[in-house]
Amino acid sequence: MFKLTPLLLAVLYGIAMYRFSAWRTSRELDEKSTELADPILIHLMRELAQALEIDRIRVHIYEIDPVNGLAAPDGRIFITRGFFRKYRAGEVSAEEMASVIAHELGHVALGHSRKRMIDFSGQNAMRTALAMILNRFLPGVGVFLANALTSLLAARLSRQDEYEADAYASALLTKAGIGTGPQKTLFRKLEKLTGANGAATPAWLLSHPKTAERVAAIEALETRWAASAGS
């Protein structure tokens, strides 16, 4: 039992850190956000809500400049002010914004926030265990190797969540009559909108899949749906 103590402490530390991070994020979102009031987007939110058979979808504007959308640990959906400015400037369509919201709804519906807490605590325990083992053979280097391997695992799990949220959004957008077209066109704009260049980083290190792979996954879904409808 004594040998397991560091691992148990690592799990508990991971859970505590995740909960503290979630609390801090929620507090900042409360202080720096207002509810979305754009009439065109609100109309599209009604269409998504109708497809989900719920009364209303609430979306908030998070007052920061980076272009992003996020699902808070408490289930609320946010679009950053920077992203909203791109929409108001005509660089992003209302339907493309709706696809972002549908994606974040996917994270909520699929329980990714809770899953991330479990993943984070498990990865922390794995990092500790690997560091203990590797340090026996590679003193002073084992910790760095353990951190690198754990980071690779975290990136892979994150990419899996993104694919799942994409698929959820595709189904919801299709059911709502918006379709997957705006979802795919937005992905092709993301690098320019965010100022990022994903090509500089190997795909297996990215927390989000590459654009071409996300679009291909959506098109594979469409092909399966078409085949099912025709059979």
Look-up: residue for tokens 């409360």?
Answer: 30
pLDDT tens-digit map of 154-180: 667 778 889 999 999 999 999 999 999
Residue 198's pLDDT is 47
Domain boundaries, the chain: 2-230
How far apart, in Å, are the Cα atoms of 28 and each of 22, 33, 71, 80, 85?
Answer: 10, 8, 14, 13, 20
**Positions in the chain short of pLDDT 70:** 1-23, 114-155, 195-207, 231
**CB within 8 A of 53, min separation 6: which ones?**
none
Residue 27's pLDDT is 80
Largest CA distance in the chain: 62
pLDDT tens-digit map of 42-57: 999 999 999 999 999 9
Residue 41's pLDDT is 97
The SS3 call for residue 202 is coil
| pTM score above 0.85 | no
For 59, other C-beta atoms within 10 Å of its C-beta total 25
CA distance 205 to 143: 19
